[in-house]
Chain A
Amino acid sequence: MASTEQLTFAIETFKRIRPVEFQRRFLSQDTRHDGRAFLQFRATHVVKGTIGTAQGSATVRIGNTTVVCGIKAEVSEPDVNTPDQGYLATNVDLSPICSANYRPGAPGDEAQVDSEHIFRLFGEVVDLKQLCIENDQAVWSLSADIVCLKSDGNVLDAAIIALMAAVEDLKLPQASLDPATGVVSADKAIETQLTLRKRLFPATFSLVDDAYLVADADDAEERLTTATLLVVLDDQGHLANVWKR
């Protein structure tokens, strides 16, 4: 009995002081430390409409990774060059609340790159012309904030799934511009949803320890990742993104 307790204690210690060796013990035996197969993804849970005050929202959980996305809609003037298009601004927030890897303050490099990546991806999904209220005068401006609450690896996949669900959940009140007063009024009783061009499905694969290709790496595996591959498919069988770094 006493020797079994010592063994359990030793495993936890071993995991902390020799993280690479700990992972290798599993990977070299064709398994992973949480029991998954190499190409097995964690269970993903998506709940839409989790933020009552937002026009569209969703919460996504991939294993222990939790990401919330909220979309707020405001009325603004369109850009002179695109008078019939609204705006979709995407912002990924990676703060100390989700992981000790991130520092407080302005968005770090990873958050900015993820924000830019998601912005470019969703240019294929949302037709900005649907956000037009009155040509050249009033359009909807959507601010999508994607906040990571808990990071256990693969935050980017969760962020993409969360924004996808939030955009599907988005309900915009019927808006019209009164030409006499120049005031835009919205009728909350009548709500419209966007017709999306496509739905996106992301999958991240990581090369751990320069030797083992695993799907949906968690935090412990991400620390030993030497290369990452993101593949995004759409619902029509096309590729939307292949990103390897």
Chain B
Amino acid sequence: MARPDRRDPTQIRALHCVLGQLNRVDGSAQFSAGDTSVLCGVYGPVDVKLYDEKLDRAHIEVKFRPDIGVPTTKDKWVEDAVRTTFEREILGQLHPRTLVQINVQLCQGDGSVDAAAINATTLALIDAGIPLRAMVAAATCIVRPDHSIIVDPTQEEADSALSTHTFAFSNLQSNSPAYVDSRGEFSLDEYNACYDMCIAAVDRTLAFMRTAVEGKILKETQTAL
């Protein structure tokens, strides 16, 4: 069954990102996959509230705001996804008793928003110079009503899905996902097929991120000269 935008089942949308466009935060990144666009701004390490202070590591806080309206429990879900993923990747032990605040703003939503939020956060943390154990990228797969599997669905494609699967992998351990959110009605075979498809998509996203960061560093060293 052909996709509305004529992509292959394993083809992700065109990726685009801009690093460091916000001048008040310590680091920022705007990440876009097709029409889904997420802006992430990071402060850190900064002062932490006494209640949240951790003696041996940094406190990680994530705020996600939707494109329209006030934040609801749906947005808390994305915050939880981002926070639990990056609590493991941020080397918080290097900055004890501080706060790393991650602010994610959905600019435009057209499916695979959770994955875009994670991708934008990785780039923003690198832009801010927060020490990371690894880069993390995420991708979403869905099983369509005809049981075919496609990667990086648009909202229209996701609305009719039998099941939705979001996986995040780091560039260190590709056999152990950093985050998994699979929901709907699916078989173990479908789960494994989505797993494999998402690993391939994540590899391509990580390569894109690497190029983006290399480009930024090149530009910075050139202007410094």
Contacts and interface: CB of A to CB of B under 8 A. Distances in A.
B187 A117 contact: no
Interface stretch (B5-13, B93-101, B151-159, B177-185): B177-185
Contacts of A234: 185
A116 B79 contact: no
Contacts of B88: 226-227
A238 interface: yes
Contacts of A119: 73
Interface residues on B, range: 20 to 34
Nearest to A238: B185
Interface residues on A, range: 20 to 34
B174 to A, nearest CB: 15
Interface in B12-32: none
A245 B84 contact: yes
B185 A243 contact: no
A245 B76 contact: no
A39 to B, nearest CB: 18
B184 A240 contact: yes
Nearest to B85: A245
Contacts, number: 57
B182 to A, nearest CB: 4
Nearest to A236: B185
B179 A245 contact: yes
Contact of B80 (A113, A124, A198, A242): A113
B215 to A, nearest CB: 32
B191 A245 contact: no
B191 A242 contact: yes
Interface in A213-245: 226-227, 229, 234, 238-245
Given A112-B73, A116-B73, A238 B186 contact: yes
A121 B185 CA distance: 10
Given A120-B183, A242-B181, A244-B180, 19 more contacts: A109-B79, A112-B76, A113-B80, A121-B183, A124-B184, A124-B185, A198-B185, A226-B88, A234-B185, A239-B185, A239-B187, A239-B191, A240-B183, A240-B184, A242-B180, A243-B180, A243-B181, A244-B181, A245-B85
12 contacts: A112-B73, A113-B76, A120-B183, A226-B88, A239-B186, A239-B191, A240-B183, A240-B185, A243-B183, A244-B177, A244-B179, A245-B180
